[in-house]
Amino acid sequence: MKKCSNCGRPAVFSLVAIISTLGITKRLQQSSPAVPFCDACLHELCDRLCSDALSDGVNNAYTCLNLRLRERIAMSKEHPESGSGPERKRMI
C-alpha cells in the first residue's frame, strides 16, 4: 500500500493537478504526477488552499469520492461474496 506523502500513514486517495491555459486556441494542459494522501492530510490540504474557488472544487470532489468509498466499503461488508477475485469489475 502506498504511504501518505505528508505523514507516512497508509494513503487512501491521490491528488493530481491539471493546469490548463485559457483564452487561446488549442488549449495546453499539463498534469502533475499523482501524490498520495491519507484521509486526514487530504482534508487538511483542502482547508489550507489559498483560493476559495479551488478549495471548494477540491473539497467537493474529495467529499463525493469519500462518500463513494464509504458506500463501497459498506456494500462489501453486506455482500462479501461479491468479492475480491480478478473477475470483479471496477465500480468507479
pLDDT tens track for 4-17: 999 999 999 999 99
| Dist. CA 75–CA 52, nearest whole Å | 34
Q: For the chain, what are the domain ranges?
A: 13-21+28-79
* pLDDT one-digit tens code per residue, 36-76: 999 999 999 988 888 888 889 898 898 888 899 889 888 88
Q: Which residues contact 4 (CB under 8 A, 6 or more apart)?
A: 10, 11, 36, 37, 38, 41
List CB contacts of 71: < 8 A, sequence separation 6 or more.
none
Task: For 81, list phi and psi in degrees, rounded to 5.
Answer: -75, -15
- Distance, in Å, from the CA atom of 85 to the CA atom of 92, rounded to the nearest integer, reads 16
Beta bridge mates, 3: 10
